[in-house]
Structure 1
Amino acid sequence: MRQRRTMAEFRRILMVLFLILMIHVTVTGQFSFFTVRDGDDVTLPCGNVRDDQEKCDTTNWFFNRLRHTVELVTSGQIDKTKISKSKSHRLSVTENCSLVIKKVTNEDVGQYNCRRQEQYFAVELSVVALTERRDNNQVTLTCSVWTYDACRHTIKWFLKGKVVEKENNDLKTSQSDCSANLTFKDSHFIYSTKKYDLLQCDVTHSITKEVKQFIFRPQSSGEKTGEEATTATTEKTPTSATITATEYQEVFPVWVRVSIVSVALAALITTVVVVNIWKRIKG
Structure 2
Amino acid sequence: MTEHQSNDEVTLSCSVKTYGRCGLSVKWLLQGRDVDKDHREINTSQSSCSDSVTFNTSLFSNTTRSELFTCEVRDGANVQTFSPQSSGHDQTEQEDKNKGRLRLIIVSVGLAALIITVVTVNMWTRTKGSKAQNKENMEQNDEDEDEDEADYENDREPSASV
TM-score, scaled to structure 1: 0.30
Is 1:214 equivalent to 2:91 in the alignment?
A: no
Aligned to 2:106: none
Aligned to 2:157: none
Aligned to 1:201: 71
Aligned to 1:145: 16
Counterparts of 1:184 and 1:223, CA distance in 2: 18
Which runs of no fewer than 5 residues in structure 1 stay unpaired?
1-129, 226-283
One-letter amino acid of the structure 1 residue matched with residue 71 of structure 2: C
Shift of 1:224: 9.3
Aligned partners of 1:197 and 1:217 also within 8 Å: no
Aligned to 2:138: none
Alignment identity in percent?
38
1:95-134 deviations in Å (ceiling 9; x for gaps):
xxxxxxxxxxxxxxxxxxxxxxxxxxxxxxxxxxx11001
Shift of 1:217: 2.8
Shift of 1:218: 2.5
Aligned partners of 1:153 and 1:204 also within 8 Å: yes
Shift of 1:215: 1.6
If asked which structure has higher relative contact order (CA below 8 Å, sep 6+), I would say: 1
Match of 1:196, SS?
A: helix
Counterparts of 1:192 and 1:184, CA distance in 2: 14
One-letter amino acid of the structure 2 residue matched with residue 216 of structure 1: P
Which runs of no fewer than 5 residues in structure 2 stay unpaired?
96-162
Aligned partners of 2:24 and 2:48 also within 8 Å: no
Aligned to 2:5: 134
Counterparts of 2:58 and 2:50, CA distance in 1: 24
Shift of 1:145: 0.3
Aligned partners of 1:143 and 1:155 also within 8 Å: yes
Structure with more strand by fraction? 1
Shift of 1:216: 1.9
Counterparts of 1:177 and 1:212, CA distance in 2: 16
Is 1:188 equivalent to 2:59 in the alignment?
A: yes
Shift of 1:221: 3.8
Match of 2:70, SS?
A: strand
Aligned partners of 2:14 and 2:52 also within 8 Å: yes
TM-score, scaled to structure 2: 0.50
Aligned partners of 2:42 and 2:55 also within 8 Å: yes
Structure with more helix by fraction? 2
Moved over 3 A (4+): 220-225
The 1:224/1:203 distance shift into structure 2, 3 A limit, reads farther
1:221-254 deviations in Å (ceiling 9; x for gaps):
49997xxxxxxxxxxxxxxxxxxxxxxxxxxxxx
Counterparts of 1:169 and 1:197, CA distance in 2: 20
1:113-132 equivalences under 5 Å are 130-132=1-3
